[in-house]
Structure 1
Amino acid sequence: MSVVSPTELAGVFQQYLRQYAGGVLQGALPRAPPPAPLSHVPALVTNLHTFLRDDSAAPRFTKQEIAKITSVITTSEYCLETTIHLEQKLKEKIVPRLASKIDLSHEQDLFHKMISTCIQLLVQDLEVSCEPALQAMTKISWLHYDIVGDQSSYVTQIIMHLKNTVPNLRDNLASSRKYFTQFCIRFANSFIPKFIQNIYKCKPISTVGSEQLLLDTHMLKTALLELPSIGSEVKRQGPSTYTKVVIKLMTKAEMILKLVMAPIDNNLEGFVAQFVQLLPESGLVELHKVLDMKGTKLSKAQLSSMDAKFKDLSRSNSEVVK
């Protein structure tokens, strides 16, 4: 009976780890594409990318499909950790000069990619549920508001979808808390910019309409900050990595609306300075969008002067930061 060397054994493990990732884990995902050739890791990764693109317009996942996706996350996490330990153990069984020949990093990358793909599928699914509410937001007659009331119905709808979806994900990923946190961060990084783009579409808008939209934004910000523990009897503050993302992005939304409400009073340069101060990371395109929301009409000369002033202030601001 021949003795199998650690390098040969590593090759066998590589083959079956790829087979498990491509044939079992990827195959377990709902609406999965046909498996790529199991011997070729880049092909498997590309297949996962295609899965995301093709799935972006698909209907929402069922509760059973969500359970499959979260199961693939937890199983991939186990496989990833096991593969890391396996590589370490195999290297211990071989002479140091040959240790570099044992490399399971491609297989580890594949499990990383599987987890990342699953998280993105969950993010897309929640965004799909919120899309009708975002569309309703832009169809409100913001110009004709005469009094600020409670939060608008579109905000209530978004919060309802968060409450209906996130607790189940949190429970399913109870053993993989870091990946639940990643889901929350990715959702915030994807959803909030879309919300901001929809703010720019809420025009024409009155001062009272802007105040109502600012209230809505604050209520949504509060709900998003509570997202990691939403629907839970025990309220805990979310991870700092998550809360920083929400605060930064939602504060930008609030600043946009404060600028929309701010008077220009024939002092365009002063308004540009205020814009640069409140939104230091925003560009000229967003300045134009804010003015468009305000309904400000500028001549070509005024527009040219404003653009030049913005560039000067932005340049000075960048130099101060450095």
Structure 2
Amino acid sequence: MSDEQAVPIILEKLHKDTFDHEDALRSLLPSTTSIEQLKSIRGNLVEQLNRSQDDLGSIKNGYNESNNNLLAQKNEFNVTVREVVGQLQCLHLTAEDTQSSIVQLTSEIKNLDVAKKNLTSSMTLLKRLQMLVTAYEKLRTLRQNRQIGEATSLMLAMLQLLQFFKNYRSVERIASLSRNITEFQRSFYEQVFENFQLQFKKANSIRGGFNAASVEGLHELCGFIDVNGPKCSNALKDWYCHHQLDGFFKVFRENEEAGLLENFSRRYDWFFKLLQTYDDQHALIFPAHWRMDIQLCVYFCNETKADLSKILKGKDISYPVFFTSIRQTLDFQNALKKRFSHVLNEHSLEGSIKTQTFQTFESLSNEFNPYYKVYIEHEAKQLETLFISFPSKDETSSEESNQILSSSMQLFQLYRKIMGHFLQFTRGPPLIGLKNLFANWLRRYIEIELLADLQSLSFSQYAVHLNTAEYIHRTTLELEKRFREVCHADLLEQMSFQKVIDNLLNCKSLLIKSCTKKFENSIKTSLEPFGKMDLRNLDTVGDQSNYVSNAIHEMKLNADEYLGTIEQNTLARNFCDRVCESFTRQFFYYIYTIKPISEIGAEQILLDLCSFKNFLLKLPSSKPDYTITDSYINHLTIFMGYIETLLKTLLTPSLPKEGIIQSYLFLIKDRSVSNFTIILDMKGVPKSEQSSYLQLFSSFVSKKNDLSDNSAIFLYLNPSTYTDLNIRSRLSLDLTPEASSRTLQSLGRLFTSKKKNG
């Protein structure tokens, strides 16, 4: 590196804190030969130093000059700031002076407004006070001159002005004037009211007294009373109503005979004449908005209601008197509603007044509500008469497609007639009594007509009774719906016929159980020849046994009699299901009673069973409009499968022992020793030899894990139940085919699963 290049680098390093002199010397004198150049290097350094000092002096002079300029600018800025602050202080003082002036000016304006308002109010007050005094003085003059027409409008104005001064009664002179005016108003009103009474009585006492002049005069008096407020007008209304009904009180309250319930229609006739008098003579006397005819009717209804309550409590009422009285009262109420329908529908009339008026009109008939037991007792006698007239033998209706008892139709026809009449009178609480009456007689009908002497019924009669029970069930629900439609909303919960529905369900259950028991007895009788057969020494299998045709014929007659009459498909299906169960139970019984059964005997029974199965398969077709369903076929297959499985097991010879045991485990698939013992008994294996069979059976069972504890077959093949042929199976079906189907489906699944596992 040349010394010209090294010098600037060294100069740059001089400004650093890490400057190393040795490194700098090595840069300048990299070799020994460079010592010779020391003089030139020193000269370069001196030259560089001088140049740097010149540059530093120039920079220092520039800095001093800039510093002086900044000081001058700072001084100038301070002077400007002082001037601005001074100007702001001047503006602040000016603003405060302006604000003070504005506040003072605003206050003066407000004072002027208040003064103007007070002045205007004072002028208005004085003006109205003058008007009040003038009206008061003028009214005094008009009162003396009996100028009621002019006084009416002036009285209204004076009362309005007096209402204005209500808040100024702390002023003694105004309070004194208000007291004087109030006293004057009261005395003037009393004078006019008394004058109205005198003029009305005078006009009422002479023929043609209510001429145009007198009516106009009375109308002016009513107008004056009206402007005095509701309290005054109501007093006049009450006086008029009481005055008009004074004769009514004398006739019907003081005369015992006229006040009887039997003569109640005279009251209504008398009042209608009174209303006619009002229409002809009094209607124009009163202001239209008073609705004086409505007031008169309300007054009459309230008074009559009080009389009616006393009369009804005071004596026993016969049905004719009750019926006539309630009919006349309802006719009277309907006449009043019809008369005032257009008035009460006007929008100008308040809703509360409309409701109250209608309630007052209806209050008369409501007084009869606690005494409807008289009416209901009379209808109960009609129902009792109807029951007495029912034929001793069942008669079906020819008017309905359903084969039902005609007496049930007669009952509901009478119900409709009674209810139609009853609804003309009331739809309130007495409906509860009518509903209870209907419910009680429905229960009596079920007991007397449907459940009496069940054992003597034929199969067709069982079907007719079940059809009738279903008809009553359906019609009772419609009757309940009708009661709920017509009754008041607060009575809905009390319009239930649930107890009757429960009775009907129990009735159908009893009918089905009784019919099933009767059919079981017929099956038992039909199969008795089968129970007397000896199949131990049978050599060959021929045609079906002789008893089969007779048994099928007998069962078909009974089934056709029932299924040809029953209407509801669910009841037909229920019957067919029960027939299958009854036949299975009885057939199992007779199989057990004819033991021992040889292999040929088991084949013969299987052949006979095939005929019974074909008959049972076609059994539902005895009902014309019923189609055999897959569920019924499955149901029948399950029960026939029980018998077939047993007979197939009996087809296996008892020797060798392993054969009968393997056949039992393959077909029946249970591990029950007692059940296997029953099979051995039916095969005729002596008791003394059965122990060896049972030991071998236990050995086979221990090697199989897919066996059930008890086969469904032995729920029917149970010798312990055969001590009484009339004992029902533990699987007797429920009322509904659905419940029956569920039970049998469970058994079917059990049987099918065992068969698949085998």
Quickly say closer, same or farther: Cα 1:267–1:281, change in 2 above 3 A. closer
Give 1:179 shift.
Answer: 1.6
Quickly say closer, same or farther: Cα 1:282–1:21, change in 2 above 3 A. farther
Identical amino acids, percent of aligned pairs: 25
d(CA) in 2 for partners of 1:237, 1:254: 26
Q: 1:158 aligns with which of 517, 538, 551?
A: 551
d(CA) in 1 for partners of 2:530, 2:616: 17
Partner residue of 2:445?
20
Q: Are 2:651 and 1:226 equivalent residues in the alignment?
A: no
Partner residue of 1:107?
500
d(CA) in 1 for partners of 2:574, 2:467: 13
d(CA) in 2 for partners of 1:283, 1:10: 59
Q: Tell me, what secondary structure is at the counterpart of 1:140? A: coil
Q: Are 2:632 and 1:242 equivalent residues in the alignment?
A: yes
Q: 2:694 aligns with which of 295, 300, 303?
A: 303
Aligned positions of 1:68-147 closer than 5 A = 68-91=461-484, 99-147=492-540
Q: Tell me, what secondary structure is at the counterpart of 1:145? A: coil
Q: Tell me, what secondary structure is at the counterpart of 1:144? A: coil
Q: Are 2:650 and 1:257 equivalent residues in the alignment?
A: no
Quickly say closer, same or farther: Cα 1:223–1:85, change in 2 above 3 A. same
Matched-pair contact (CA < 8 Å) for 1:228–1:238: yes
Give 1:282 shift.
Answer: 9.6
Gaps of 5+ in 2: 1-364, 370-425, 710-749
Q: Tell me, what secondary structure is at the counterpart of 2:536? A: helix
Q: Tell me, what secondary structure is at the counterpart of 1:183? A: helix
Give 1:272 shift.
Answer: 4.4
Over alpha carbons, which structure has the higher Rg?
2
Q: Tell me, what secondary structure is at the counterpart of 1:142? A: coil
Partner residue of 2:562?
169
d(CA) in 1 for partners of 2:641, 2:445: 44
d(CA) in 2 for partners of 1:96, 1:283: 64
Give 1:302 shift.
Answer: 4.4
Matched-pair contact (CA < 8 Å) for 1:149–1:212: yes
Matched-pair contact (CA < 8 Å) for 1:218–1:254: no
Give 1:214 shift.
Answer: 0.9
d(CA) in 2 for partners of 1:282, 1:119: 37
d(CA) in 2 for partners of 1:283, 1:226: 36
Q: Are 2:615 and 1:190 equivalent residues in the alignment?
A: no
d(CA) in 2 for partners of 1:221, 1:311: 36
Give 1:88 shift.
Answer: 4.0
Matched-pair contact (CA < 8 Å) for 1:181–1:228: yes
| 2:505 partner amino acid | H
Matched-pair contact (CA < 8 Å) for 1:276–1:314: no
| 2:475 partner amino acid | T
| 1:238 partner amino acid | I
Matched-pair contact (CA < 8 Å) for 1:185–1:245: yes
Matched-pair contact (CA < 8 Å) for 2:670–2:708: no
Q: 1:47-105, CA deviations, whole angstroms, 9 ceiling, x for partnerless residues?
A: xxxx6xxx4xxxxx68xx44433221111110111223333444455688865544423
Give 1:284 shift.
Answer: 4.8
Gaps of 5+ in 1: 33-50, 56-60
| 1:295 partner amino acid | G
Q: Is 259-268 or 69-78 further displaced after alignment?
A: 259-268
d(CA) in 1 for partners of 2:612, 2:705: 30
Q: 1:162-187, CA deviations, whole angstroms, 9 ceiling, x for partnerless residues?
A: 232222222222x3332222222112
Q: Are 2:677 and 1:291 equivalent residues in the alignment?
A: no
Question: How many residues of Structure 1 are paired with residues of Structure 2 in the alignment?
Answer: 285
RMSD, aligned α-carbons: 3.5
Q: Is 116-125 or 234-243 further displaced after alignment?
A: 234-243
Q: 1:164-217, CA deviations, whole angstroms, 9 ceiling, x for partnerless residues?
A: 2222222222x3332222222112222211111211222222221111111111
| 1:211 partner amino acid | E
**TM-score scaled by structure 1?**
0.74
Quickly say closer, same or farther: Cα 1:278–1:13, change in 2 above 3 A. farther
d(CA) in 2 for partners of 1:101, 1:307: 66
| 2:608 partner amino acid | D
Quickly say closer, same or farther: Cα 1:208–1:256, change in 2 above 3 A. same
Matched-pair contact (CA < 8 Å) for 2:524–2:586: no
Quickly say closer, same or farther: Cα 1:88–1:261, change in 2 above 3 A. same
d(CA) in 2 for partners of 1:7, 1:185: 42
Quickly say closer, same or farther: Cα 1:152–1:302, change in 2 above 3 A. closer
Q: 1:97-139, CA deviations, whole angstroms, 9 ceiling, x for partnerless residues?
A: 8655444232112222222322333333333333233221122
Quickly say closer, same or farther: Cα 1:279–1:22, change in 2 above 3 A. same
Q: Are 2:542 and 1:149 equivalent residues in the alignment?
A: yes
Q: Is 294-303 or 274-283 further displaced after alignment?
A: 274-283
Quickly say closer, same or farther: Cα 1:241–1:13, change in 2 above 3 A. farther
Quickly say closer, same or farther: Cα 1:219–1:311, change in 2 above 3 A. farther
Q: Are 2:571 and 1:179 equivalent residues in the alignment?
A: yes
d(CA) in 1 for partners of 2:528, 2:690: 32
Quickly say closer, same or farther: Cα 1:19–1:244, change in 2 above 3 A. same
Quickly say closer, same or farther: Cα 1:105–1:187, change in 2 above 3 A. farther
Quickly say closer, same or farther: Cα 1:136–1:87, change in 2 above 3 A. same
Q: Tell me, what secondary structure is at the counterpart of 1:151? A: coil
| 2:447 partner amino acid | G
| 1:145 partner amino acid | L
